[in-house]
Homo-oligomer: A and B are copies of this chain.
């Protein structure tokens, strides 16, 4: 008993194109090929096809399926790995769903937010809670008022400096220089200088006088960067933030 492509395709619930594809990649060869090139399939190939389709429905890729069918003992191990992969995908989707909903809420709160902050990589309000908790409500209020009072052009310049600092840090970290190098220390100096411009922080308060607070503040900042995953994204991954932290620590010990 043997069948043509269409017959097999209908029986198994797939298409002839799929069968030709499986033939091409060597996943499922016809049991016989006629002199006219026609493909014919028998029972054993049909069974193999149905195994393939079952595994495919479970979400496995064709190479993985070939692996399983050719080395049967690995089947449970392979399924286990696939299960892990499926769970990872679900987690990823869960995170994306949260992000999308947060974005939508932010857009509802004020359409302006989008144009001004949400989409330009410098969301000043996003850190409200942390700033308040760390440095007091007063600090955030001052800082916020300062920001809102700024002209758009000034804002742009400010944001630009922030971004430039970030990318310079990344470039330095990737270049492989040490955290104590002159290059890194210069960046640390710029970072502190930049911080001095933000009102409500110990750095700005002591811009003139200079107190021991600043040292702790700068050192603590580095630790905070490392602990908070959002900063990792801005400083080129985990290695990047650790580089920033070390550079700031060394700078604080030497100069503050």
Contacts and interface: CB of A to CB of B under 8 A. Distances in A.
A166 B160 CA distance: 66
Contact of A96 (B59, B100, B163): B59
Contacts of A234: 13
A78 to B, nearest CB: 10
Contacts of A96: 57-59, 86
- How many copies the complex holds: the figure is 2
Nearest to A80: B104
A83 B101 contact: yes
A120 B1 CA distance: 17
B171 A58 contact: no
Contact of A47 (B79, B97, B120, B164): B120
A130 interface: no
Interface stretch (A4-12, A32-40, A137-145, A244-252): A4-12
Contact of A57 (B13, B99, B160): B99
A212 B174 CA distance: 83
Interface string A74-106: 011001101100110110011011011101100
A6 to B, nearest CB: 9
A216 interface: no
Contacts of A87: 97
B86 A100 contact: yes
A234 B13 CA distance: 7
A120 B79 contact: no
Given A50-B119, A51-B119, A86-B93, 5 more contacts: A11-B163, A13-B234, A54-B103, A76-B107, A83-B104
Interface of A: 1, 7, 10-13, 43, 47, 50-51, 54, 57-59, 75-76, 79-80, 82-83, 86-87, 89-90, 93-94, 96-97, 99-101, 103-104, 107-108, 114, 118-121, 156, 160, 163-164, 166-167, 170-171, 233-234, 236
15 contacts: A11-B166, A11-B167, A12-B121, A43-B156, A47-B121, A50-B121, A51-B119, A57-B99, A59-B93, A59-B96, A79-B103, A79-B107, A80-B104, A82-B100, A83-B104
